[in-house]
A and B are shown apart, each in its own frame.
Chain A
Amino acid sequence: MTDTQTQPQHAETDDDRSDLISRVRTILGRRTEGRAVALLSVVVVITAIMEPIVFTSYEVTLGRIALIGLVALGLTAVILMGELDLAVASTLAVSGVIMASFESLPLGILAALGTGLLIGVVNAFFVIVIGINSFIATLGMLFFLRGAAFVISGERPVRLTNVDAGIAFGQPLIGPLTPRMLIFIAAFVALHIFLTRVRVGREFYAVGGNREAAHDAGIPVTRRVFTGFMISGFVASLAGVINTLERTAADPTAGSAVLLASFAAAIIGGVLLNGGRGSVFGTLLGASSLGLLQVALTLSGVQVDVQNIVIGSVLLLAVITDPSSLRAAAGSMRALVRSRAGP
């Protein structure tokens, strides 16, 4: 992993210094947020020069970050275990539609969140009990749930019965912070504490790092995977509830744009797709840089299509500049050169 043991033959006088350097390198090597920091700095510098208005109208920017970041937070929990939940986009849509179908607002919200948890359970069932690869299982669910959202809504946006509550929800609550941002901050803090301080959460890393070893060490892998998918399903439905409240209507096609951005946020943030490495903080950095980028592009009058090209390219770059991808590429290149030189 890290290249700390590469310089053992230093002169004695250099020992202390090289020891310190190697310790710093170890700490840095353990962190996976490097690319998110780099992207965030580049985006901040460029927007500060080109579109400084992005920072003065920070309510918009923060709102966008919260939109991308919330779904990405839930995804982080699943990706840490080496699984993937592509169904989040449809979970968002279907839970919004279900919520809007209820007359009573609290009942609707409860039903929506329950739907999210249920979807998480179903996803985890297919992945861990049946043994389907999570990419394929959640891809099928993505399609199934998108269809379900269309069926429930009758293929058109469903208006919220209680429009006033929705309008109130969009207003700033504490200072400039709207409830959406507060919920995002709360989810961030909760998940951060869960994954770094709570035993169950820390075991997510073990499950993602080496499932066999985690199982042998007595970690209930099946239950952890169920928990992970339930977190991502719940958070996605929470995002659906917030979207529906803010727009006072539920759109059955919602979420397809969020899918790309939220994956990009988690992966840029250094959450390793194979599991075991990454942090909620990295996801926050990834979401911040993407949110900033999107708002800056929108304010400069760049079309949505071009924005998709930019975000898609960022995601592609993020996947192939992953440390393990770069190592694999170096290995592949050596193999290619050898096979060329050989018979």
Chain B
Amino acid sequence: MTNDTSTGTVSAPKSAAPEEHLEEQAFKLSEWMANQGIFIFTAALILFAAVFIDGFVSLPNITDVFNRAAPIGIVAAGMTFVVISGNYLDLSVVAQVATAGVVLIAVSNETSIPVAMLVAVVIALAYGLVNGVAVGVFKANAVIVTLSTTFIGLGLLRWATGGSIYFGPNDGAIRAFGATRIGPLPLAMILFVVVTLLLSFVLTRTTFGFMVRSFGSNREATRLSGVSTPWVVIGAFTVTSLAAMLGGFVLAAFSNTAVSAMSDGYDFAALAAIIVGGTSVFGGRGSVLRTLLGVVFVSVLTNIMVLSGLGFGIQQMAIGLLIVLAVSVDALARKATGI
């Protein structure tokens, strides 16, 4: 693992030790790409879309981009904690988003929205605890653990719902939330920005956030400095679970419906956004604000592909390629800086 304890913030480029500046004047393209590339790429992509893609710059389309970006963005903002803590990703967000959405609509139809939210919070905490304990206490591989909890969670959800679609009432608060917007901004997008700022504050200004970043940089040093590392991992997974729950609420509110298959591909989309934003999949380096930028990039890219009439298969290929390329840039940058 790395012994780099510095954690990059939003704008500060990761500079090598100052003494080495004279020898290290050479411009490292890969390092620059890993740290600053996303700003240029996002701007270029939006410019490209605005000029060449018919119908990109229109109020309905921009609102649509925001509506689709918001739930993925909220999930990605939360999952940034797991990635920065050096645990790769949480695949089970797929199951969590769908469960939260179905619970919100199905349970609130029977009882009330607060009860439904309470049930969803309990489920989210359970997910965070199971994933966090398996990864943090048992030191099991996060990919395998969350792969199995995905199958358990989706299996439970499909078994409980029988795969049926749930519709919210037409005059309910859920629909009102999903339909309200201020200018081109749906409420969901505003919630996404608020969640991002809140999680960014937690990550950069609180002890817990510091521990997450420190654990991602160097587990052993963090443990030796007296931090109870299992709690850090459980905390990171719980943050992800709560964010996935919110993402599920927003997704359900957007269409006022919920079904167990509604969050297919959220794990990859969120991971792509996080990595493209410049958060290192090797842990320790990154920020929630960068994830916001990554979400914009991935959402605009998807929108361009949809508007150009490219099929589902091409979209999946593009996201997969994006993940591999972004991580390659990160890995090459790490090699270039010699850490």
* In-complex Cβ contact of A311 among B151, B156, B158, B231 (8 A): B151
Q: Note all chain A residues with C-beta closer than 8 A to B271.
A: 139
- Nearest-neighbour CB distance to chain B for A137, whole angstroms, equals 6
Interface residues of B (CB under 8 A from A): 88-89, 130, 134, 136-141, 143-145, 147-152, 154-156, 158-159, 223, 226, 228-231, 268, 271, 275, 281-282, 311-324, 327-328, 331-332, 334-335
CA distance A342 to B226 in the complex (A): 10
Q: How far is the CB of A32 from chain B (nearest CB, A)?
A: 16
Q: Which residue of A lies closest to B131 (CB)?
A: A316
Residue A145 at the chain B interface, CB threshold 8 Å: yes
The residue that A319 contacts in the complex, of B88, B140, B318, B322, with Cβ under 8 A, is B140
A308 and B313 form a contact (CB under 8 A): no
When distances are taken between beta carbons in the complex, the residues of chain A under 8 Å from B324 are 126, 132, 137, 140-141, 144
**Contact flag A315-B147 (CB < 8 Å), given A126-B324, A151-B317, A325-B140:** yes
Contact, CB under 8 Å: A139 / B323: yes
A308: chain B residues at CB < 8 Å are 151-152, 154-155
A252 to B139, CA, bound (A): 35
Q: Are B155 and A335 in contact (CB under 8 A)?
A: no
Residues in B neighbouring A136, C-beta threshold 8 A: 88-89, 275, 281, 323, 327
- Please determine whether B159 and A131 come into contact, CB atoms closer than 8 angstroms: no
Scan A273-300; emit 1 where CB is below 8 A from any B CB, else 0.
1000000000000000000000000000
Q: Is A130 an interface residue (CB 8 A)?
A: yes
Question: In the complex the two chains form, is A151's CB within 8 Å of B313's CB?
Answer: yes
List 5 tightest A-B contacts by C-beta distance, closest first: A150-B313, A144-B320, A147-B316, A143-B320, A147-B317
Which residues of A lie under 8 Å from residue B312 when comparing CB positions?
Answer: 147, 150, 155
Residues on A with beta carbons closer than 8 Å to the beta carbon of B320: 140-147
Provide 17 A-B residue pairs closer than 8 Å at the C-beta atoms, listed in order of the A residue.
A132-B331, A133-B327, A139-B143, A140-B323, A140-B327, A143-B323, A145-B320, A147-B312, A150-B311, A151-B317, A309-B151, A309-B159, A316-B145, A319-B138, A319-B144, A328-B138, A329-B138
| Closest A residue to B159 using CB positions | A305
B contact patch SS? helix
* Interface contact B323-A325, CB-CB below 8 Å: no
Give the residues in chain A near B138, CB-CB below 8 Å.
319-320, 325-326, 328-329, 332
Which of B156, B321, B334 lies in contact with A140, CB distance below 8 A? B321
Q: Mark A143-166, 1 if CB is under 8 A from B, else 0.
A: 111111111000100000000000
* Listed residue (B136, B231, B321, B323) with the most chain A CB atoms within 10 angstroms of its CB: B323
- Contact of A333 with B by CB under 8 A: yes
In the complex, chain B residues whose CB is within 8 Å of the CB of A320: 134, 138, 140, 145
Q: What chain A residues lie within 8 Å of B223 (beta carbons)?
A: 335
B143 and A150 form a contact (CB under 8 A): no
Q: Is A313 an interface residue (CB 8 A)?
A: yes
Q: Which of A132, A136, A252, A306 counts the most chain B CB atoms within 10 A?
A: A136
Q: Is A54 part of the binding interface, using a Cβ–Cβ cutoff of 8 Å?
A: no
Report yes or no: B156 in contact with A150, Cβ–Cβ below 8 A: no
